[in-house]
């Protein structure tokens, strides 16, 4: 293979061009480093030496000397907020807000960062004031999302609904389940105060936004029951099966009470048995178990749980079976059954909790609003053992 002579001449030229480009880059870096304020370099030194207070003072001085270091302020403030040092973040962002030489975009960004600082620090009223200033600006959409979070924390459901309605169309659709839950919160308060027209209005709003809102159906049934309209209440609670059968256990006690007032207890019992046959649920089984022990005796409750255990073997179901067996057993056998029950019960405590489908938070009590991640209807009335048994 022959090598053309002109390639040999080109190689030194390429090396020369590379050396020249490197010299230009190094010269530019040196010029930029000399242009940086000394306080900026001092601030970095303090930060590396774990002296954050002195670093902040140095960076503030750097911003005063050179407005081009504003981005440094934003980065440092966000870092402090993520670390939980909200007082330092507020101090940095407040300085930016008070400056007169920022352009509009920088000022809006500074206000938004300051609002997030107040929100992280739990200063909800100050955060609300900041985000209200951002309404009808280029940061309007961001302000709406944070205001929605603030009003949920304050449980100001009317304002939360108002803000949700102001969201852009593509975001408003994402919040339908939450807005329906806001109306349910207002309906619950109105029902406690016997303001029945307000209850009716909020239920209708919730179902118009989210036809699958189980809580609205539960409250509607409660409204009818409070008005003495048990037949209508039963129809509202039966609707839950078509919305989300996981929540049927929440209506079980209500259904039995309504049928009891109507004098048709057996019909209510058969309805709950049919629900359990179609939708296995430990909470629904527990409701039926307690009712059968009180009304039909331990033998009927034992047969109920034994049949369910054959279909869905669970430790919680076994605990119920031993409870019924203990009540029905002769006195000389109760000691052994009690011993086994205590051993089983010790294990059931770990699997008897509810779990959020969004963040995995576990608790003994059912919540419509997850205490950990703030999700709505992400905390179904299903025990953790039921999640673990799913394929």
Residues annotated within the binding site for Fe cation are: 356, 359, 370, 373
Binding residues: 356, 359, 370, 373
Give one DSSP letter per residue of 145-164, joined into a string: HHHHHHHHHTT-HHHHHHHH
Cβ distance 324 to 289 under 8 Å? yes
Bridge partners (DSSP) listed for residue 376: 369
- 376 backbone dihedrals φ, ψ, rounded to 5°: -100, 135
Bridge partners (DSSP) listed for residue 355: 362
Closest CA to 116 of 98, 130, 99: 130
Q: Rounded to an integer, what distance in angstroms lies between the CA atom of residue 192 and that of residue 189?
A: 5
Helix (H) or strand (E) run with residue 124 in it: helix 124-133
Cβ distance 292 to 304 under 8 Å? yes
Cβ distance 146 to 119 under 8 Å? yes
Q: Rounded to an integer, what distance in angstroms lies between the CA atom of residue 9 and that of residue 31?
A: 34
Q: Using alpha carbons, list the distances in angstroms from residue 245 to 171, 267, 277.
A: 28, 19, 12
Q: Rounded to an integer, what distance in angstroms lies between the CA atom of residue 204 and that of residue 24?
A: 71
Quote the DSSP letter at residue 376: B
Bridge partners (DSSP) listed for residue 363: 354
Quickly list H helices, 227-281. Answer: 230-238, 240-243, 248-261, 265-278
Bridge partners (DSSP) listed for residue 383: 354
Cβ distance 78 to 113 under 8 Å? yes
């Amino acid at each position: 293979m022959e090598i053309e002579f002109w390639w040999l001449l080109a190689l030194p030229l390429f090396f020369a061009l590379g050396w020249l480009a490197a010299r230009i880059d190094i010269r530019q870096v040196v010029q930029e480093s000399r242009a940086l304020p000394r306080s900026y370099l001092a601030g970095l030194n303090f930060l590396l030496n774990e002296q954050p207070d002195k670093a902040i003072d140095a960076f503030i001085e750097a911003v005063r000397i050179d407005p081009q270091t504003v981005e440094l302020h934003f980065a440092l403030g966000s870092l402090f907020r993520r670390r939980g040092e909200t007082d330092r973040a507020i101090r940095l962002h407040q300085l930016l807000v008070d400056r007169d030489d920022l352009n509009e975009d920088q000022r809006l960004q500074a206000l938004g960062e300051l609002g997030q600082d107040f929100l992280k620090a739990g200063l909800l009223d100050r955060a609300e004031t900041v985000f209200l200033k951002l309404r009808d600006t280029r940061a309007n959409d961001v302000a709406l999302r944070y205001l929605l979070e603030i009003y949920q924390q304050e449980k100001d459901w009317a304002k939360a609904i108002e803000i949700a309605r102001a969201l852009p169309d593509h975001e408003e659709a994402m919040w339908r389940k939450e807005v329906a839950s806001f109306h349910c919160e207002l309906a619950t308060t109105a029902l406690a105060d016997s303001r029945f027209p307000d209850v009716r209005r909020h239920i209708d709003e919730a179902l118009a936004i989210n036809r699958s809102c189980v809580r609205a159906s539960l409250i509607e049934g409660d409204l009818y029951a409070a008005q003495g309209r048990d037949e209508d209440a039963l129809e509202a609670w039966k609707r839950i099966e078509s919305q989300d059968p996981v929540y049927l256990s929440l209506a079980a006690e209500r259904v039995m009470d309504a049928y009891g007032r109507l004098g048709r207890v057996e019909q209510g019992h058969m309805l709950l048995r049919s629900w359990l046959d179609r939708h296995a649920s430990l909470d629904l089984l527990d409701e039926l178990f307690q009712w059968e022990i009180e009304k039909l005796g331990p033998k009927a409750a034992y047969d109920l749980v034994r049949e369910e255990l054959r279909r869905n073997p669970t430790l919680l179901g076994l605990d119920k079976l031993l409870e019924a067996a203990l009540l029905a057993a002769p006195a000389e056998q109760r000691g052994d059954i009690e011993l086994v029950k205590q051993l089983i019960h010790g294990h059931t405590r770990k699997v008897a909790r509810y779990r959020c489908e969004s963040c995995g938070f576990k608790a003994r009590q059912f919540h419509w609003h997850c205490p950990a991640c703030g999700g709505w209807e992400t905390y179904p009335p299903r025990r953790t053992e039921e999640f673990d048994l799913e394929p």
